[in-house]
Amino acid sequence: MSRDAEAGSGAEGPSVEAVDRAVRVLNALAARPIASTLSEAAVGAGLSKPTAYRILSTLIAEGFVAQNASSGAYRLGAAPLRLAARVLRDVTARDPALEAMRKIRAQVKETVVLSVREGDYRYNIDSVEAENAIGQAQQIGVAIPLHAGAASRVLLAGMESEDLLSYLDRAPLTRFSETTIVERDKLIEELARTRQLGYAVSSGEFASAGHAVAMAVSDANGRAIAALHVSAPRSRFSPTVRDRCVAALRLGVAEIEAAMAV
């Protein structure tokens, strides 16, 4: 039986099923780089076209989806921006991080990114773009698994041992490129190295085009609440660039943590 055919069959009732379907439609629209036809939205959400149409009509009325008057294609509306802004206001490190990120960029001339953890994923929430003509573009708001990439790894390394083992037991170590660490023992070793050094380095583990150097931002209790990383194209990355990034990140993280402690 398809998920669409199971309407109202769960203990929670049809209202919860409707919410689930609406979320699936929104995720389907968000996953495509261009506007979606009704068929594309329905397939992406795993729904029939009539069901998808009804949900899209409701979401349009609430401002969560917009429809092109000429083509009839669907895209996300403006309402999610309001929700996103509210989420960002709750990120403690965000405001003090922006100024520190600009200073880091001025020193290394590369893109600087702030990320936070939500469940088993990391999300980039802010970036300050590179001053170089060719920079490393970042995906804002994309769910990135905690085992892939330097910024993910510093958040993973900041977990308590029990939480880390629980994550490793339940989360699939998916390979996104040939450099993604997918062996449990190797990942544990790399996390130990990250704790020892105080930073992590990655080479195209999630997005294959670039290198990254990352460092965790901790709260007053020493918990990693965010990750700051510098991203650079592979063609410009070198040990000298890495060391310059590490030095700049140390200063930036110290500045952010000091600002949050006030």
| Per-residue model confidence as pLDDT tens digits over 199-244 | 999 988 887 667 899 999 988 888 888 899 998 888 888 889 999 9
User: What 3-state class would DSSP assign to 112?
Assistant: strand
Domain end call among 82, 112, 144? 82
Is the separation of the CB atoms in 75 and 36 below 8 Å? yes
Domain end call among 47, 82, 117? 82
Distance CA(2)–CA(79), nearest Å, equals 30
Tell me: do 124 and 177 sit in the same domain.
Answer: yes
Q: What is the pLDDT of residues 74-121, one digit of tens each?
A: 998 887 767 666 665 666 667 778 889 999 999 999 999 998 888 888
Query: For residue 12, what pLDDT band results from cuts at 50, 70 and 90?
Result: low
Instruction: Give the domain range for residue 236.
Output: 91-261
Tell me: do 137 and 162 sit in the same domain.
Answer: yes
Is the separation of the CB atoms in 127 and 140 below 8 Å? yes
Tell me: do 151 and 257 sit in the same domain.
Answer: yes
Tell me: do 101 and 189 sit in the same domain.
Answer: yes
Residue 85, pLDDT score: 62
Tell me: do 78 and 97 sit in the same domain.
Answer: no
Looking at residues 22-48, what average pLDDT do you find? 90
Tell me: do 106 and 215 sit in the same domain.
Answer: yes
Tokens representing 125? Answer: 């929430």
Tell me: do 153 and 245 sit in the same domain.
Answer: yes
Work out how many domains the chain is built from and give that number.
2
Residue 193, pLDDT score: 94
Is the separation of the CB atoms in 159 and 167 below 8 Å? yes
**Confidence check: pLDDT of 67 > 70:** yes
Residue 173, pLDDT score: 92
Percent of the chain with pLDDT over 70: 85
Domain end call among 24, 54, 82? 82
Tell me: do 67 and 146 sit in the same domain.
Answer: no
Tell me: do 125 and 210 sit in the same domain.
Answer: yes
Closest CA to 100 of 123, 126, 121, 122: 126
Q: What is the pTM of this model?
A: 0.69
Query: For residue 10, what pLDDT band results from cuts at 50, 70 and 90?
Result: very low
CATH of the domain at 101: 3.30.450.40
Is the separation of the CB atoms in 123 and 143 below 8 Å? yes
**Confidence check: pLDDT of 188 > 70:** yes
CATH of the domain at 62: 1.10.10.10
Tokens representing 35? Answer: 């506007």
Tell me: do 130 and 228 sit in the same domain.
Answer: yes
Tell me: do 150 and 250 sit in the same domain.
Answer: yes
Tell me: do 125 and 224 sit in the same domain.
Answer: yes
